[in-house]
Amino acid sequence: MGEKHALIYGASGITGWSITNLILKGYPEDDTFSSVTALTNRPLDMVTAQWPKVEKPEFQLASGINILTLKGQQGLEADLKRKVANISKITHVYFFAYIIDSDPAKESQINKELIRRAVSAVENLSPNLEFVVLPTGTKAYGVHLGDKFPFAQDLPLRESLPRIPEPYASKMFYYHQTDMLSEMAKGKSWTWCEVIPDSIVGFVPNNNVYCVAQTIGMYLALYAELRGKGAKCPFPGSEKSWNILSNETNQDTVAKVAIYASLHPETTSEQRYNAADNSQPSSWSKKWPVICEYFGLKGTQPSADGRAPQPHEYLAEHIDEWGELERKHGLVGGCAANDRTYAAFASVIMHALNFDRQMDMSKCHEMWGPKKEEIDIQKSWFTTFDRFRKAKIVP
């Protein structure tokens, strides 16, 4: 078995960060990978990243890699050759880069081009490419369609379900990406698979559009500071959302499924796998008290009048008090108010996703075999908050 060299696009994102972290820590085995290269567009240093310093596998962090550089495909390849020492040895690509756009047609076009360039560059520069992992999400099942969710009667969600109907299918960028990968891989020595998480719980070192845990963690830390430890903290979502069932996914779970799948192409080639912490779905009524407990608060059901503070609004209204908290605990600045984080996303998750959307995990667990893991609510959220605390983002 030849050496394996990992390349992570979007390494500062929620799952890209975890894939890098896990490979550096020796997942699935200490000698699985000879090297790992983390690519980011925005500047990132090792202190901020919070990755472990190890002798093996060899590690390189390359920032300033703009996949959609105006210099085109040749420009991207020139940047990779210049910044990635072992680009010609890359065997495994974990593609966790994403560009958001409110126009579905434009979002599809952008993200299709993003993966085409990224994979083509490695194809052209490394004759050793074996596997590409693409993360999608439960939007592939239509959860973003709300009351038009097409599979409400087909739960739990299985990978064998058809695509969502038109006119929505042609606007779903995940489909454009998987179709492109399938076409690109025809007749090649490499293959790919798709990993499908629902809402992801995880740490990021320098803000992220969809990091729900960061917004919730900062909100609860501030709430505890202003209301006092032991205070009741009502669930910020709706009464309807309080009891709906879904399968959350910790960043480490998505990453482990992605890494393990990439190492078993004989099973996983062009397959899709749901990824979740537990085969048993859970609800906010079970999660919220556990989440609040980390900050010494008592998480309670939604308030009867529906006027519980919204995390992003509470942080905005008390931005001066958050500044005092930063100074008191020596926290990193620029996390409560920045142009990167879509802070309202936490409220969207807790209000708009007010219907059951649980996933079937049997296919994933069969593929994962002896490495299969399940973790509980406390481990997922407490591990995440511990990482934010270590990074001085929450007190």
In a domain? residue 85: yes
| Residue 348 confidence (pLDDT) | 86
273 lies in which domain range? 5-198+251-277+357-374
In this prediction, residue 347 carries a pLDDT of 84
How many helices (DSSP H) and strands (DSSP E) are in the chain? 15, 11
Number of domains in the chain: 1
Q: What is the DSSP string of 197-236?
A: ESSEE---SS--TT-HHHHHHHHHHHHHHHH-TT-EEE-S
Residue 1 CB contacts under 8 Å (≥ 6 apart), including other chains: none
**Residue 1 pLDDT:** 57
Global pTM value: 0.96
Helix, strand, coil percentages, rounded to 5, for the chain: 45, 10, 45
Task: Write out the DSSP string of 51-96.
Answer: PPP-SSSEEEEE----TT-TTHHHHHHHHHHHH-TTGGG--EEEE-
Q: Are 246 and 338 in contact (CB under 8 A)?
A: no
Q: Is 331 a domain residue?
A: no
* CATH number of 65's domain: 3.40.50.720
Cβ neighbours around 304 below 10 Å, total: 9
d(CA 69, CA 73): 8
User: Checking DSSP bridges between strand 35-39 and strand 191-197, what pairing results, if any?
Assistant: unpaired
Instruction: Encode the chain (395 residues) as per-residue pLDDT tens digits.
Output: 589 999 999 999 999 999 999 999 999 999 999 999 999 999 999 999 999 999 999 999 999 999 999 999 999 999 999 999 999 999 999 999 999 888 999 999 999 999 999 999 999 999 999 999 999 999 999 999 999 999 999 999 999 999 999 999 999 999 999 999 999 999 999 999 999 999 999 999 998 777 899 999 999 999 999 999 999 999 999 999 999 999 999 999 999 999 999 999 999 999 999 999 999 999 999 999 999 999 999 999 999 887 889 999 999 999 999 999 999 999 998 887 666 566 677 888 999 999 999 999 999 999 999 999 999 999 999 999 999 999 999 99
**Residues in CB range of 210: below 8 A, 6 or more apart:** 14, 200, 342, 345
Please give the Cα distance from 360 to 363 (Å, whole number).
Answer: 8
In a domain, 236, yes or no: no
Inside any domain, residue 227: no
Q: Of 52, 14, 20, 21, which is closest to residue 37 (Cα–Cα)?
A: 20
Residue 342 lies in a domain: no
Identify whether 258 is part of a domain. yes
| Burial annotation 122-136 (CB, 10 A radius, 16+ → b, else e) | bbbbbebbbbbbbbb
Q: Is residue 333 part of a domain?
A: no
Q: Is residue 57 a part of any domain in this protein?
A: yes
